[in-house]
């Protein structure tokens, strides 16, 4: 691992090589992205991906097992479950728990997603419906900032929204780096020929995405002098993404594969 800041061309070549090394179908099996990859229908991919991203903290094997457990309670048909479940179908969820995500949280997620999908065809609408996508000032990462703030407000707009559940859906308004939501957006928006990310949302460009920042990404990014700010918050995620845009303005979060892969696989 380089101990000093690399020239930009050398850094680009280094990270491109690492990104394409990890951005392969071999990445899928042991990662939470394997959960939405179980499905073919757009809405099932969205719902499974949203739950997988939300539960993505801790050991990856445990995350995958808990997601599979949750989806089994929906008869492995998450979109149909959101549209057609009965009150009695919710009983199994009263025992669900993954770390601090418990039954209260699971039941509210189902309630809010059910309400949403009965009115809209895709969860993408919740991120983009009130944004002026043609406004020049919103053609960069600030579009995602507004999209995440808007999504958070929408998600908790039901009168019975539990206060405790709000910690499971982050927002830049609380200075969070929004790692899980940015990861979810990467899954939905990015598209290439490698078969990992889905690219099923078309109203947000890959160039507008913000890099998901977990402890592994942060550690490697600091070693490579891509982050100088202290701590990890929304502005730190923006700093990292801004520096990654200097390497590839059209697809900066491609380098999430490189930073995360090196952080996890190359200790």
Residue 214 has a CB neighbour count (10 Å cut-off) of 19
Q: What is the mean pLDDT of residues 93-109?
A: 98
Return the SS3 of 98. strand
Position 2 scores a pLDDT of 47
Lowest mean pLDDT among 27-41, 134-148, 207-221: 134-148
Position 267 scores a pLDDT of 65
pTM summary value: 0.94
| Residue matched to tokens 């990662």 | 31
For the CA atoms of 205, 207, 208, 210, the dihedral, rounded to the nearest 10 degrees, stands at: 120
Say how far apart CA 85 and CA 89 lie, in whole Å.
6
Percentage of residues in the chain with pLDDT exceeding 70? 94
Helices (H), the chain: 8-22, 42-54, 60-72, 78-84, 103-117, 124-128, 141-155, 179-189, 215-223, 234-245, 255-265
Say how far apart CA 146 and CA 191 lie, in whole Å.
22
Q: Is the pLDDT of residue 190 over 50?
A: yes
Q: Where in the chain are the domains?
A: 1-27+123-267, 31-121
Which band of pLDDT confidence, cut at 50, 70 and 90, is reported for residue 130? confident
| Residue matched to tokens 């308004």 | 173
Q: Is the pLDDT of residue 111 over 70?
A: yes
Say how far apart CA 134 and CA 118 lie, in whole Å.
28
pLDDT digits (tens, 9 = 90+) for 131-181: 765 555 445 667 899 999 999 999 999 999 999 999 999 999 999 999 999
Q: Give the single-character DSSP code of 192.
A: -
Position 143 scores a pLDDT of 86
Q: Is the pLDDT of residue 246 over 90?
A: yes
End-to-end distance of the chain based on CA atoms, in angstroms? 10
Say how far apart CA 155 and CA 105 lie, in whole Å.
12
Q: How much is the mean pLDDT over the chain?
A: 94
Alpha-carbon distances of 134 from 60, 139, 191, rounded to whole Å: 38, 7, 21
For 160-186, give the DSSP string.
T--GGGGGGS--GGGT---HHHHHHHH
Position 138 scores a pLDDT of 46
The burial of 225, by beta-carbon neighbours within 10 Å (0-12 exposed, 13-18 middle, 19 or more buried), is given as: middle
């Amino acid at each position: 691992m380089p101990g000093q800041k690399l020239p930009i061309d050398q850094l680009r070549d280094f990270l491109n090589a690492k990104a394409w090394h990890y951005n392969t179908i071999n990445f899928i099996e042991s990662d939470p992205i394997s959960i939405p990859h179980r499905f073919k229908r757009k809405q099932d991919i969205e719902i499974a991906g949203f739950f997988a991203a939300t539960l993505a903290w801790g050991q990856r094997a445990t995350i995958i097992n808990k997601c599979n457990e949750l989806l089994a309670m929906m008869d492995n048909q998450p979109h149909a479950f959101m549209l057609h479940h009965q009150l009695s179908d919710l009983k199994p969820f009263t025992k669900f728990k993954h770390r601090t995500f418990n039954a209260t949280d699971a039941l509210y997620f189902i309630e809010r997603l059910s309400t949403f999908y009965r009115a809209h065809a895709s969860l993408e609408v919740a991120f983009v419906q009130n944004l002026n996508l043609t406004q020049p000032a919103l053609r960069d990462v600030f579009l995602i900032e507004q999209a995440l703030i808007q999504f958070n407000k929408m998600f908790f707009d039901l009168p019975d929204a539990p206060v405790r559940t709000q910690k499971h859906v982050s927002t830049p308004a609380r200075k969070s780096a929004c790692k899980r939501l940015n990861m979810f957006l990467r899954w939905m928006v990015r598209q290439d020929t490698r078969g990992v990310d889905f690219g099923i949302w078309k109203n947000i460009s890959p160039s507008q995405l913000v890099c998901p920042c977990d402890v592994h990404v942060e550690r490697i990014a600091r070693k490579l002098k891509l982050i100088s700010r202290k701590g990890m918050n929304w502005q730190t995620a923006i700093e990292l993404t801004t520096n990654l845009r200097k390497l590839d303005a059209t697809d900066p979060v491609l380098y999430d594969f490189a930073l995360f892969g090196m952080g996890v696989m190359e200790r």
